[in-house]
Amino acid sequence: MSSLGALAGHPIVPVVVINDPDRAVELARALAAGGIRCAEITLRTPRAIEAIRAMSTVPGFTVGVGTVLTEAQLIDSLDAGAQFVVSPGIDEGLVRLALDRGVGVLPGIATASEAMTAIRLGLNAVKFFPADRLGGLLTIRALAAALPQLGFVPSGGVNAATAAEYLADPAVPAVSGAWVAPAALIDAGAFDDITALAASATSLLAAS
């Protein structure tokens, strides 16, 4: 599966840091109620794999894994039900393993050389990270001018104020960020608030 194939129909990808896997199903339902039917569960908490396993049981919801650093993490996440893989940087071994397992993979890149590596590995999209520190949309446009076959998914500093501008650019197939499902709201069980944030985020699509 290509990177863009994994993101098909998911222009906004919430980046989730979750401490309690028992909240994963409610979180997925809250996001779906607001019009977002996917999430990237980051491996930044001890029970993230459990959360992936729980969220993957929600019908019609696409769960991915983020902050993947090792092949063992990738395998454990896929075995738990992850349907796409995101990493902060580009590692050829991780990319090849994900592709061999038939799942979309979105490695992080910050330079043209890394973007060219992604193309050589057969990818058609990458995560541009950390977007806000690397020049944001202006840098994406410069990279896309030279590498038009590649989509760039900004992550890092993306929020409600910047997402619509990113999504309006043809080089940006999706955006990812934590603003839709902040960890504090998940921990507090404030799922109505998360639904409202998701609905607000999906309304950005009309402006893009």
Catalytic residues: 40, 127
Contact 97, 105 (CB under 8 A): no
- Dist CA 77 CA 102 (whole Å): 13
Give the C-alpha separation, 61 to 55, whole Å.
8
What contacts 24+ positions apart, CB below 8 Å, involve 111-118?
112/143, 112/146, 112/147, 114/89, 114/90, 115/143, 115/147, 115/150, 116/147, 117/90, 117/92, 118/90, 118/150
Answer for the pair 39, 63: CB distance below 8 angstroms, yes or no: yes
Residue that the structure tokens 């569960």 belong to: 41
Pick from 100, 98, 99, 119: which is nearest to 109 by CA?
Answer: 119
32 vs 154: CA distance, rounded Å: 22
d(CA 90, CA 3): 13
* CB contact at 8 A, 198 and 36: yes
